[in-house]
Amino acid sequence: MGNRKIVRKISLRIDERLFKVLKTHLFHGDNDEHAAVIAAGMVETKKEIRLLARKIFLAKDGVDYVPGTRSYRTLTAQFVANKSDYCCRKKLCYIAVHCHPGSGSAGFSADDVASQRRGYPALVQMTGRPVMALVLTQTAAAGNIWTADGVSSLSHLIVVGSRVTTLTPDTQKGKTVSSNIYDRHARLFGDAGQEILGNLKVVIIGLGGGGSLLNEWLSRLGVGHIVGIDHDKAEPSNLPRIVGASYRDAMTWLTLSPIPLLQRLGIILSSYKVNIAKRVARRANPKMKYEAIPGDVSDEQIALRARDADFVFLATDTIKSRNVFNALVHQYLIPGAQIGAKVTADKRTKEVVEIFTAGRMVMPHAGGGCLQCNGLIPSVRLQKELLSEEERKAGNYIENEFIQEPSVITLNVLSASQVVNDFLLMFTGLYQQDMPLKHVMSYVLSRERALADFLTNSDCTHCSDSPHSRFAKGDGMRLPCRRK
């Protein structure tokens, strides 16, 4: 037998704000056709190809979108040339969009297909990238993706926002029946909601106190695929905070020994936090897929394992991991959340002044909670963390480096619970569209909660559409990681 070609799903992702602009233009209420062009980044994995909407060009009726001689309406040659040239220069994919009135299933007319056959092979050669034709109704989407190897069909379109929406060519869906195990879940968000959770790939960066809670809850919610990333091993001081960790995992009879050789042996034999997390998750949901990665998300090859995720949680306290997480969210249009807790004490009296926790949703669009825009990736601390050990010593950065912050599992619960509920309500359709997912801060000593107003920077290198930003560029830009 010859080598069988692997057929991958092809999908399109677009953030809800950009999609709102597109739909407002396409569906005027006049029951007629209208058009636009999307410039999109791309990510290719073994599982699928994702196109990532970065910029929309609206075609003006009667100027850019005119009556055709072989079809009802067509984009002018000048408009196509300008936008395809833009995509070629920016190394983006060209997607021509038009609408069909109504709210039924989506599909191309014979004239549409004939038009694609005449023009799209040349566009593929001109841009050097896949070219797509996309047709939308109010409730469905269909697409043909043209490459040098032929034509493929769009699997689905995902609108990423406070209510994650999936559009397919056919609006008729079969009845879904979930397992009786999830009966109480289905009473809240239905069997269809449970099926959605079962098809998600979720990445958790950091499996310490907060991350272990996320891991436990997501597995019990029925998430079908979890990727855990953490380079640390369990140690005795972790045991009160890591869900499912045992004294055996920390090898306490060795690591707490007064004999240095036995201490070192205990560290070697102790369990990685990701392996503890995998054990906990599989006990909750034996049918799930779990990838335990004992490594640092700051390493490029590890970070790239997250680029086809549906959601990313960050539960570490380093600035460099925040930077990579923020890049993943905006570069690959993956919604995410960062959690954390901090105890502030008076330097002189050592008295606890405030206990603060944060649950920060980060959506992939400008004004969506970008950590860089909101001052949560301070450049000075990031530069310090990226220094080598020799460089830190030379710069006198070692002082207080190994002082551990206070950490209690109940504080982790405060920060983690809100973002997991946000995740749940987003994907099961219980949140309304355009729901503001502001960062939630809890001030524990005063029992107060606050919602943070987001800051935005029109020149942000992560979330803006400025030429140098990484927004929706996918594999067209390197992640801010170490390269080996």
CATH number for the domain spanning 354: value is 3.40.50.720
pLDDT at residue number 135: 97
Whole-structure pTM value:
0.93
> What sign has the CA pseudo-torsion 296, 298, 304, 308?
positive
214 and 149 housed in the same domain: no
Q: For position 343, what pLDDT does the model report?
A: 87
Q: Let me know if residue 483 belongs to a domain.
A: no
Q: Residues 312, 376: one domain?
A: yes
Number of domains into which the chain is organized: 2
CA distance 38 to 58: 9
Mean pLDDT by 10 residues, the chain (484 residues): 60 97 94 96 93 98 92 93 96 97 90 92 92 96 94 96 95 74 92 95 96 98 97 94 94 92 93 97 96 97 97 95 97 97 85 91 96 91 68 47 68 94 97 92 94 93 94 96 78
Do 191 and 109 share a structural domain? no
Residue 176's pLDDT is what?
73
Q: Which of 137, 140, 72 is CA-nearest to residue 110?
A: 72
Q: Are residues 362 and 445 in the same domain?
A: yes
Look at phi and psi of residue 136 and say left if phi exceeds 0, alpha if psi is from -120 to 50, else beta.
Answer: beta
Same-domain status, 156 and 203? no
Q: Is residue 27 part of a domain?
A: yes
336 in a structural domain: yes
Range of the domain at 419: 181-232+272-452
Identify whether 347 is part of a domain. Answer: yes
310/431 same-domain check: yes
**143 shares a domain with 208:** no
Are 389 and 436 in a shared domain?
Answer: yes
Instruction: Give pLDDT, residue 32.
Output: 94
Task: Answer yes or no: is 344 within a domain.
Answer: yes
Domain assignment of residue 378, yes or no: yes
- Same-domain check for residues 89 and 200: no
Residue 14 falls within a domain, yes or no? Answer: yes
pLDDT at 402: 42
How remote is the C-alpha of 465 from its chain's centroid?
18
Q: At what angle do helices 183-198 and 409-427 cross, to 10 degrees?
A: 70
What does the alpha-carbon distance between residue 91 and residue 108 come to, in Å, rounded to a whole number?
A: 27
Give me the count of residues in the chain: 484
Q: What is the pLDDT of residue 312?
A: 98
User: Looking at residue 392, what is its pLDDT?
Assistant: 52
Pair 284, 361 in one domain: yes
Spatial strand order in the sheet of 448-452: 289-293, 225-229, 201-205, 311-314, 336-345, 352-362, 439-443, 448-452
CATH number at residue 144: 3.40.140.10
SS3 438: coil
Q: Which of 320, 286, 291 is nearest to 226 (CA)?
A: 291
Assess if residue 13 is contained within a domain: yes
> 148 with 214, same domain?
no
pLDDT tens profile 395-450: 444 444 444 567 889 999 999 999 999 999 999 999 998 899 999 999 999 999 99
Residues 436 and 339 in one domain: yes
